[in-house]
Structure 1
Amino acid sequence: MTGSRPAPAMFVNRQQLTLALILAGLGTAAWWWGRPERVEAPPSASAERRPDYVVEGFRATQMDDLGRTQRHLQARILRHFPGDDSTELDAPELTWLVDQAPPWHAQAAAGRVAAEGNEIQLHGNVVLHRAASATTRAIRIETDSLRVEPQNDYAETDDPVRLYSDRDQLTSTGVRLWFGETLRIEFPKRTQAIFHMADEGRP
């Protein structure tokens, strides 16, 4: 990881600095927290899975060496578990900015960041989408789970997926997607598609 680590916000203690190390695997150059509010863990949580801290309204931004925004990560609630050094997210939202194209957005009901910090598992009503532009078509992918490697601009799943692009539709089991400077999508298993030809006189 390059760049300096920012000073902790008002509600961030020494334990919470562990979170910065977890998210460092995302290629972070600079992260900031949007005034998180620390709350006590639920008393019903088991001792094995009791978080050592909980952050509400978590928000972080990754910058490159020139101070330009690269990625965003936010969640309604973040919980860190010291037992396996993992982090769980409620209603996570991820955004990747791509040169010469609209940004990609991913959202889900829940997410989990492993201890190594190099991947995020999204679960429940996962939607990955990109808006249209003058040179690109809109793309929307829906599935039940998605493994994301933000630092590598890569995402994959083995679950059934549904892809929509303008009026075209595609269903498949599994998808591999690289959304860096050059977009590449692979469907490793059987795929069914419905394509609508352009009307006469239209591109």
Structure 2
Amino acid sequence: MNPPLSWLPSRRQWLLGIGFTLSGALAWWQIQIHPDEVAPAGQRARLPDYVALNFTALETDANGKPSRRLVADELRHYVAEGVSELSQPRLTLFQPDGPPWNARSEQGIVLAGGEQIRLSGDVRLDRQGDRQTRATHLETERLDVWRTQALAETDLPVRIRSDGDVLTAKGMRLWYAEPMRATFQGRTQIRFAPEPETKP
């Protein structure tokens, strides 16, 4: 004997059941992928107030010319902490004369209302050469960029390449605006590239 139709779930009940099952599976998957983001009992999970994907911000000077541009795959802002976390940030520091500095890293944090940007994880800072300056390529694991001082600094090992010359140091302070200058911390080593041979 066939059961009465009232015992069979309706289409809506089927859809609700499937939805609850998928929601539970998704929550379990998120916990397995990001176990560190699960708050202990009695504590609220640390969640951003808002998230922006494919984030881009352009800052201009008093004359309306670009002074710096920040791009990131994702920005997560925490209002109470006053910080924004960045994924795959790219920072361009424009110069009044000459090519800009271009920085990139794996992660970043915007602090002090944008006054300080901390780049971390495989940080690269590059500037193309022109008629007056040589191309420069810098590598480190963390770099703090300060807007007002036009300063980029790190207390971690840094490696700088320029036209075959290589400089290594335990830390660095680089004032990237003109007139550009830098100081290095700890033991600093410089290896000069051999001069090209000239034909007699």
Query: Which band: TM-score by shorter chain?
Result: 0.7 to 0.9
* Matched residue, 1:123: 120
- Partners of 1:182 and 1:201 lie apart in 2 by 33
- Partners of 2:112 and 2:155 lie apart in 1 by 22
* Matched residue, 1:160: 157
- Partners of 1:198 and 1:100 lie apart in 2 by 29
For residues 65-119 of structure 1, what are the alpha-carbon distances to aligned partners after superposition, in whole Å with 9 as ceiling and x for unaligned?
2221111011100001133121100011111111222100111100011244320
CA displacement at 1:151 relative to structure 2 = 2.9
**Larger % of helix: which?**
2
* Matched residue, 2:134: 137
* Matched residue, 1:96: 93
CA displacement at 1:48 relative to structure 2 = 4.6
> Higher mean Cα deviation, 152-161 or 112-121?
112-121
The alignment's TM-score, normalised by the length of structure 1, stands at: 0.73
The question of 1:75 aligning with 2:72 is answered yes
The question of 1:108 aligning with 2:116 is answered no
Amino acid of the residue matched to residue 120 of structure 2?
H
- Partners of 2:117 and 2:82 lie apart in 1 by 14
Q: CA RMSD in A?
A: 2.0
* Matched residue, 1:57: 54
The DSSP-based 3-state class of the residue aligned with 1:170 is strand
- Partners of 1:74 and 1:159 lie apart in 2 by 24
Who wins on radius of gyration, i.e. which is larger? 2
The question of 1:147 aligning with 2:152 is answered no
Give 1:177's match in structure 2, choosing from 162, 167, 174: 174
For residues 129-165 of structure 1, what are the alpha-carbon distances to aligned partners after superposition, in whole Å with 9 as ceiling and x for unaligned?
1001111100111000011102321010010111100
CA contact (8 A) 1:87 1:115 kept: no
The DSSP-based 3-state class of the residue aligned with 2:148 is helix
- Structure with bigger RCO (C-alpha 8 Å, 6+ apart): 1
* Matched residue, 1:66: 63
CA contact (8 A) 1:127 1:143 kept: yes
- Partners of 1:116 and 1:74 lie apart in 2 by 16
Count of residue pairs brought into register by the alignment = 161
For residues 162-193 of structure 1, what are the alpha-carbon distances to aligned partners after superposition, in whole Å with 9 as ceiling and x for unaligned?
11001101111001100111111111210111
- Partners of 2:142 and 2:112 lie apart in 1 by 19
Amino acid of the residue matched to residue 112 of structure 1?
I
Paired-residue identity, %: 40
Amino acid of the residue matched to residue 76 of structure 2?
R
- Partners of 1:198 and 1:98 lie apart in 2 by 30
Q: Residues 144 and 62 (structure 1 numbering): CA distance in 2 closer, same or farther, change over 3 Å?
A: same
The alignment's TM-score, normalised by the length of structure 2, stands at: 0.74
